[in-house]
């Protein structure tokens, strides 16, 4: 039987199998790392002020999946009583936790973060301990027959990482994955860990992902618990193609656990100088320049690119890790990688959650922040839904 693809705005059905056909449901949400605040009280306040407004506008009659970002502080504050109370909150408001963002451990808004966002990385036992804590929380929110992924850093930031660090990385990953396997053996849900490749990190290109999985040599009992969170912005910055990314992962048997729906900046030739208005002090904006001759030049941050006078040739193209609203194809004379998303999303298997992740609204130029935040999020979710609906109609 052919799957019927349903988006989040369809009324939730409790039984996925009907007598005449099998229904495959698409999880579509947004990541709450867009909202500032590190403590659990901040998380709950943001959900009540923003996520419920998004649900009311986008999915008033459906159970709404939450892409929940939990910092180290919030995870530590979630005792058994708060975990149970939030489960009740979700039931009351027609929501459920679909994914957990375990990438940024510390503050993520309102101060210079840059490469500190990767700390602690997978060379450090603190990263494993934080991940295990998130898994314990997730196990209380996810139905026993369900699955949920926790996204995490791409091993470490590239600068300062050495070949000799891999044994530490493997040891800490094995500790975390063993914890996930024990939760499953104890009857809890299948909680998985999703490494998220990112420019200028140990894992940035898809071939480096495959090399990492080969090098880890995980035992069969742990291998199903580790996969990839594919961030569309990140892979577009690498000048990869959706077909190649997905094909390489599938061919190597690397699980695709989540897709983060995001878009990057792009500029050609003289327009590369216009990227200067996006040089802001909070986040790291890695850049990749492809020259007319096909040479790739990689920069850890936008100021380093701009200092080189890049764009000397009219056919030089630069892509920058700056998450911009996914529905935009152009911004003030600059392009975006929206076309990467248009090629990617129809190829993503329906069982893989889609999570819109434009966390940089707070640092966008003022002209791009004219509408209320909830309205922007709804506009992004609607763009994804309409793209997928159009694809399914063609099929």
* Token pair of 104 as six digits: 């940024």
Residue 312, pLDDT score: 66
Q: Give the strand pairing for 330-331 and 287-290.
A: unpaired
Please state which of the four CATH numbers 3.30.70.270, 3.30.950.10, 3.20.20.150, 1.20.1090.10 is assigned to the domain occupying 4-264+338-394: 3.20.20.150
Residue 391, pLDDT score: 86
Cβ neighbourhood burial of 293 (10 Å; 0-12, 13-18, 19+):
exposed
Residue 370, pLDDT score: 75
Residue 131, pLDDT score: 98
Q: How far apart are CA 182 and CA 160, in angstroms?
A: 33
Q: Give the strand pairing for 263-268 and 334-336.
A: antiparallel
pTM of the model: 0.93
Residue 20, pLDDT score: 31
Which segments of 120-196 are extended strands (E)?
A: 147-152, 190-195
Q: Average pLDDT by consecutive 10-residue portion of the chain (395 residues)?
A: 33 30 70 97 98 97 97 98 98 98 97 97 98 98 95 98 98 98 97 98 98 97 98 98 98 98 96 94 97 94 88 86 96 95 97 96 84 94 96 76
Residue 310, pLDDT score: 60
Residue 204, pLDDT score: 98
CA neighbor of 358 nearest in space, from 274, 232, 194: 232
């Amino acid at each position: 039987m052919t799957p019927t693809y349903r988006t989040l705005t369809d009324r939730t059905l409790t039984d996925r199998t009907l007598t005449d056909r099998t229904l495959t449901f698409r999880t579509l949400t947004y990541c709450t790392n867009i909202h500032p605040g590190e403590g659990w009280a901040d998380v709950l306040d943001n959900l009540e002020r923003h996520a419920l407004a998004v649900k009311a506008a986008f999915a008033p009659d459906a159970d709404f999946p939450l892409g929940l970002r939990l910092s180290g502080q919030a995870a530590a504050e979630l005792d058994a009583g708060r975990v149970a109370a939030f489960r009740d909150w979700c039931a009351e408001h027609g929501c459920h936790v679909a994914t957990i963002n375990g990438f940024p451990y510390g503050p993520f808004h309102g101060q210079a973060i840059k490469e500190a966002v990767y700390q602690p990385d997978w060379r450090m036992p603190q990263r494993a301990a934080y991940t295990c804590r998130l898994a314990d929380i997730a196990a209380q929110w996810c139905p026993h027959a369900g699955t949920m992924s926790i996204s995490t850093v791409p091993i470490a930031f590239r600068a300062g990482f050495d070949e000799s660090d891999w044994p530490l990385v493997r040891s800490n990953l094995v500790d975390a994955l063993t914890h996930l396997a024990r939760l499953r053996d104890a009857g809890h849900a299948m909680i998985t860990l999703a490494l998220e490749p990112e420019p200028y990190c140990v894992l940035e290109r898809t071939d480096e992902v495959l090399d990492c999985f080969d090098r880890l040599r995980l035992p069969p009992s742990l291998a199903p618990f580790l996969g990839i969170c594919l961030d569309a912005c990140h892979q577009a910055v690498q000048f990869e193609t959706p077909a190649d990314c997905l094909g390489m992962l599938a061919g190597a048997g690397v699980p695709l656990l989540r897709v983060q729906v995001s878009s990057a900046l792009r500029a050609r030739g003289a327009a590369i100088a216009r990227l200067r208005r996006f040089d802001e002090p909070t986040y790291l904006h890695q850049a990749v320049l492809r020259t007319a001759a096909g040479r790739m030049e990689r920069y850890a941050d936008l100021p380093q690119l701009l200092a080189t006078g890049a764009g000397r040739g009219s056919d030089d193209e630069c892509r920058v890790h700056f998450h911009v609203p996914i529905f935009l194809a152009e911004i003030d004379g600059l392009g975006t990688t929206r076309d990467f998303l248009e090629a990617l999303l129809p190829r993503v298997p329906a069982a893989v959650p889609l999570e819109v992740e434009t966390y940089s609204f707070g640092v966008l130029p003022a002209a791009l922040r004219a509408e209320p935040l909830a309205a922007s999020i709804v506009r992004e979710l609607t763009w994804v839904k309409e793209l997928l609906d159009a694809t399914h109609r063609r099929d």
